[in-house]
A and B are shown apart, each in its own frame.
Chain A
């Protein structure tokens, strides 16, 4: 490695570390608060002081008192099918809008994009009524179907733009080989869209996991509700206990973080594929 290269890499790490530290400052506060006892939090106003002893007591208390295990399971039951459903149907729709020429193509795309722009709080009443009418109120399916539908607006827009960059020659070549259109979608389009699907999957997972409103509007039974609703009741219960609220918040945030870590590799994969050719 040349001297210049070492210097360059060194300064990259230095800058990256400084940026990350500044960037994570608010989380640092939440993190240390979760380890501090309340008397430390109240009496010691200096945030840069580390907790006296690192104890996971408050994490445990948040987990047990907040009844988080049940809420966690619910969040998974809601989030996983919602994300898969939204991605799958949006990829189909996005493919149709990106690679086929037909009348009203742009209009349909426009409607999908436009639907995503409504301030969704406004949809509380109608969506509640529709779920009720179909008999889905107070079931997981009500929340899942709504998430899939609403998120499709953004996902179709997103995937359509990425699928457009796939060379049409590739598809035509498969057609010559006699592949059906759906086969082309499964065997050519989906694999080539992987980095985009990974990014979208990460974002969608995070949003749906963090949704609060619809879990509350469409579910009545406490044993069906997602972790965000649990967190808000935790906030209600431990108003003055910042450490427990912090701990609960960090536990809830851990899952989307893990998903990001898992899917991140697809970001690099694209580059590596290019490099190895």
Chain B
């Protein structure tokens, strides 16, 4: 027993020793702590390199990155933000409603003085980004990069079957039919974590009812239980009834869903550009193409989803001045270009010429430039509680497409609960 007690004492001593050492290293003068959700290797490494570059140019600064798994990050950020002691100096976050949620509660610091002498937000970013970065007249969000959504397919499969990228809904249906007849499942999806289904709802609503109606719906201003929304589900139902979606998709994560596209079991996948991050085989990567979500009603102005990621400084940041210096660096053309190029994203900084990008990225950029409106994404545009309940209904609809009436009623009931 004596041994047990003494080993306990020894362990405690060892711990205090380790703690002492770690405290001693906290001495660096201008410290910046970034909490980041970029846990995938490519973005994680890129941010690390950016930090190294910044530290080289500013030797008196020490920047630490604490990386958290994506899902946990979204939970834990709410423990740090209100805390005076545990708050980081910079957090990675999402533009639009999600950023506004924190700004609204007074938890974020305005960024109006990071731009440098005589410069402003607009010297760095296109005007269009104002609506997702500025709230009540002040800038809170620093956009880093964004990506586009589209239907991804294997060029070799389309060549083999002599298929062309469809432009209209009817052409799209023909492509599905052709794929199905040739023993491909036309559309793959992994709906286990639900948001992939929300992507479908967003795009169908944008194409059927347009972006203005969609944003009203997101803000809870109009009813879900309407003919307009029903039409969205009816288009969706057509695909489900014809068996165009892959079976048992709620068993798969989005990455597992992508596998069916990579191994040529399925023909197309509605997904963001980051699908490229999970292709390990270079040959498949080159064989991937994408096209715009088909036009359903030509009279509806085209809108696209462009989820934007970036950074914010919490109100309780212990080193705001140093943080702002780093934020300035992140906004610069060079830093933005470095990040975007590495990951095939599109930089938010407006001073990067489109020709610099990879041809595929240029195609995505053109697609967005030709569109009339942009939105973020279902769970970034509406309130979290609404998004959670609605995404369940979307997945349920895909399993039980006959229950449109009930689903519309539940969605409307939830909207009333959340927004009224």
* A residues lining the B interface (CB < 8 Å): 42, 77, 80-81, 84-85, 88, 124-125, 128-129, 132, 135, 137-141, 144, 186-187, 190-191, 216-217, 220-222, 229, 232-233, 236-237, 239-241
Establish whether residues A139 and B39, one from each chain, have CB atoms under 8 Å apart when the complex forms.
Answer: no
| B273 touches A (CB below 8 Å) | no
B79 CB within 8 Å of chain A:
yes
Nearest-neighbor residue (CB-CB) of A197 within chain B: B4
Which listed segment binds A: B6-14, B94-102, B106-114?
B6-14
| CB<8 Å pairs between A and B, sample of 9 | A124-B79, A128-B86, A135-B85, A140-B15, A186-B1, A216-B76, A233-B67, A239-B253, A240-B255
Q: Is the CB of A137 within 8 A of B1?
A: no
Write the nearest CB–CB distance from A103 to chain B, whole angstroms: 30
Instruction: Tell me which residues across on chain B come within 8 A of A144, comparing CB atoms.
Output: 15
Pick the 8 closest A-B CB pairs, nearest first.
Answer: A81-B11, A128-B79, A236-B39, A237-B41, A239-B255, A220-B66, A186-B1, A84-B8
* CB-contact partner of B69 in A80, A132, A232, under 8 A: A232
Contact A85 B8 (CB under 8 A): yes
Interface check B181, CB cutoff 8 A: no
Which of B61-100 touch A at CB < 8 Å?
A: 64-70, 72, 75-76, 79, 83, 85-86, 88
Q: Which residues does B use to contact A, with CB under 8 Å? A: 1, 4-5, 7-8, 11-12, 14-15, 18-19, 22, 33, 35, 39-41, 64-70, 72, 75-76, 79, 83, 85-86, 88, 253, 255, 259, 263, 278, 280
Q: How far is the CA of A264 from the CA of B278 in the complex (A)?
A: 44
Cα of A190 to Cα of B1 in the assembled complex, Å: 8
Closest to A185 in B: B1
Query: Nearest-CB distance from A50 to chain B (Å)?
Result: 23
Give chain B residues whose Cβ lies under 8 Å from the Cβ of A222.
65-67
Contact between chains at B19 and A81 (CB < 8 Å): no
Cα–Cα distance between A150 and B79 once the two chains are bound (Å): 20
Contact of A140 among B18, B33, B278 (CB under 8 A): B18
A84 engages B40 (CB within 8 Å): no
For chain A, what secondary structure do more than half of its interface residues adopt (helix, strand, loop), or is it mixed? Answer: helix
Residues of chain A lying within 8 A (CB to CB) of residue B69? 216, 229, 232-233, 236
Instruction: Name the one of B1, B11, B85 contacting A80, with C-beta atoms under 8 angstroms.
Output: B11
Q: Which of B12, B15, B64 has the most CB of A within 10 A?
A: B15
Which of chain B's residues has its CB closest to A139's CB?
B19
CB of A191, distance to nearest CB on chain B (Å):
8
Q: Which residues of chain A are within 8 angstroms of B11 by Cβ–Cβ distance?
A: 80-81, 84
B258 → A minimal CB distance (Å) = 9
Distance from B369 Cβ to chain A, minimum over Cβ atoms (Å): 32
| Beta-carbon nearest neighbor of A229 in chain B | B69
Instruction: Give the docked Cα–Cα distance between A216 and B71 (Å).
Output: 12
Q: Which of chain A's residues have a CB closer than 8 A to the CB of B68? A: 216
Which chain B residues border A221 with CB–CB below 8 Å? 64, 66
Nearest residue (CB) in B for A125 is B79
Given the interface pairs A125-B79, A216-B68, the reply to whether A77 lies near B15 with Cβ below 8 Å is yes
User: Which residues does chain A contribute within 8 Å of B15, judged by CB atoms?
Assistant: 77, 81, 140-141, 144
Q: A132-B85, A220-B66, A222-B66 are in contact. Are A77 and B18 (CB under 8 A)?
A: yes
| B263 surroundings in chain A (CB, below 8 A) | 42
Say yes or no: A132-B255 contact (C-beta < 8 A), given A81-B15, A140-B18: no
Closest to A191 in B: B1
Q: Of residues A190, A216, A239, which shows the largest number of chain B Cβ atoms within 10 Å of its Cβ? A: A239
**Minimal beta-carbon separation of B317 from chain A (angstroms):** 14
CA distance A197 to B63 in the complex (A): 46
* Complex contact A239–B70 (CB within 8 A): no
A220/B79 in contact, CB under 8 A: no
Q: Which residues of A contact B5 (CB under 8 A)?
A: 88
Q: Are B76 and A217 in contact (CB under 8 A)?
A: yes
Residues of B within 8 A of A186 (CB): 1
A84, A124, A216, A240: which has the most chain B beta carbons within 10 Å?
Answer: A240
Query: Given the known A-B contacts A140-B18, A144-B15, A216-B68, are A233 and B39 also in contact in the complex, defined by CB atoms under 8 Å?
Result: yes
| CA gap between A135 and B263 in the complex, in Å | 52
How far does the alpha carbon of A137 sit from the alpha carbon of B80 in the complex, in Å?
11
Chain B CB within 10 A, most for which of A77, A186, A220: A220
**Nearest residue, chain A, Cβ from B2:** A186
With A141-B15, A239-B255, A240-B278 already in contact, the answer to whether A88 and B8 are too (CB < 8 A) is yes
**A210–B40 alpha-carbon span in the complex (Å):** 22
Once the chains are docked, how many angstroms separate the CA of A104 from the CA of B85? Answer: 39
* Distance (whole angstroms) from the CB of B2 to the closest CB of chain A: 8
| CB-based contact B40/A132 at 8 Å | no
Query: Bound complex: CA of A42 vs CA of B263, how far in Å?
Result: 10
Q: A141 near B19 (CB under 8 angstroms)?
A: yes
Bound: A222/B64 CA distance, A = 10
A88 to chain B, nearest CB (A): 7
Bound-state CA distance A271–B65 (Å) is 54
